[in-house]
């Protein structure tokens, strides 16, 4: 596995529509392995192939509903994902690893059903809600050339970002005192870097996916 560079929002690749994956081969497996390492290093909740310069319909998300002491155990690989159902609504903070230091308010479905294929071409489906639903929507947007900044109702001020960071630190301190680890930094919080769904600047990666 190898770390890959995460493209910035000014890169034209992030505005392009990704192509369908036709071959479930070693090349795809290498891409997925590299994306796993890159996502874990970024401490985010999601990463799409276009963010590492590959225009293929492939994304990773961390499903926080999966109980695991290791974030890698929560990673779900989505090849050729398609949202088949949405319900409800959630409005909250979102950021992106490709847009460091920028966070906005974005409305997403509260719950989504998604169909996809695993790295071997086996189809599967999943229903996710809350933060994971936000991550799925954020990452699939990347596959369609959409960055969260085009969807934001407004952007957060530096004061709001710092307040979120403080709240996140307090929550992590409470978790540590209780003898448990909190969920991985997500785009919906401080100190994370898509969903970071956001960045390496010690500010919250206000999520998504990821941002």
What is the full DSSP assignment across 54-121?
A: --BSEEEEE-TTS--SSGGGGEEEEEEEEEEEEES-EEEEE--TTSTT--EEEEE-SEEEEEEE-TTS
Token output for 103: 């966070």
Q: Bridge partners of 42?
A: none
Look at residue 176 and tell me if it is in a domain.
Answer: no
Q: Which domain holds residue 58?
A: 12-90+108-153
Q: What pLDDT, on a 0 to 100 scale, did the predictor assign at position 209?
A: 42
pLDDT for 195 equals: 45
Specify the 3-state DSSP secondary structure of 131. helix
Distance CA 3, CA 99 (A): 18
Report the number of distinct structural domains present in the chain. Answer: 1
Residue 97 lies in a domain: no
137 lies in some domain? yes
Residue 207 lies in a domain: no
In a domain, 62, yes or no: yes
Sheet holding 90-94, edge to edge: 90-94, 104-108, 154-155
Tell me if 3 is assigned to some domain. no
pTM of the model: 0.83
Average pLDDT score over the chain: 87
The confidence score (pLDDT) of residue 167 equals 87
With respect to residue 193, please indicate whether it lies within any of the assigned structural domains: no
Per-residue tokens: 33: 């392995």
* The pLDDT value given to residue 143: 98
State residue 179's pLDDT score.
67
Report the pLDDT value the prediction gives residue 173, as an integer from 0 to 100.
83
Residue 180 lies in a domain: no
CATH of the domain at 29: 3.90.45.10
Is there a contact between 38 and 1 (Cβ–Cβ < 8 Å)?
no
Active-site entry in 77, 139, 189, 209: 139
Regions in the chain scoring below 50 on pLDDT: 182-193, 195-210
Strand 58-62: give its sheet, edge to edge. Answer: 46-48, 58-62, 75-87, 111-117, 123-129
Active site residue 181: no
């Amino acid at each position: 596995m190898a770390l890959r560079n995460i493209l910035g929002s000014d890169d034209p690749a992030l505005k392009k529509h990704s192509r369908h994956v036709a071959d479930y081969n070693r090349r795809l497996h290498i891409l997925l392995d590299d994306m796993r390492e890159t996502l874990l290093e970024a401490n985010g909740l999601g990463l799409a192939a276009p963010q590492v310069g590959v225009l293929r319909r492939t994304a990773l998300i961390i499903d926080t509903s999966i109980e695991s002491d290791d974030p890698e155990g929560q990673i779900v690989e989505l090849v050729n994902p398609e949202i088949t159902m949405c319900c409800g609504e959630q409005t909250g903070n979102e950021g992106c690893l490709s847009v460091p230091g920028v966070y906005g308010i974005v409305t997403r479905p509260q719950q989504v059903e998604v169909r996809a294929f695993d790295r071997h071409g086996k189809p599967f489906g999943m229903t996710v809600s809350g933060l994971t639903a936000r991550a799925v929507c954020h990452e699939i947007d990347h596959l369609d050339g959409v960055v969260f900044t085009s969807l934001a109702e407004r952007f957060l001020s530096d004061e709001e970002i710092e307040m979120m960071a403080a709240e996140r630190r307090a929550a992590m301190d409470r978790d540590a005192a209780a003898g448990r680890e909190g969920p991985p930094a997500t785009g919906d919080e401080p100190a994370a870097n898509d969903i970071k769904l956001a960045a390496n600047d010690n500010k919250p990666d206000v999520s998504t996916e990821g941002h």
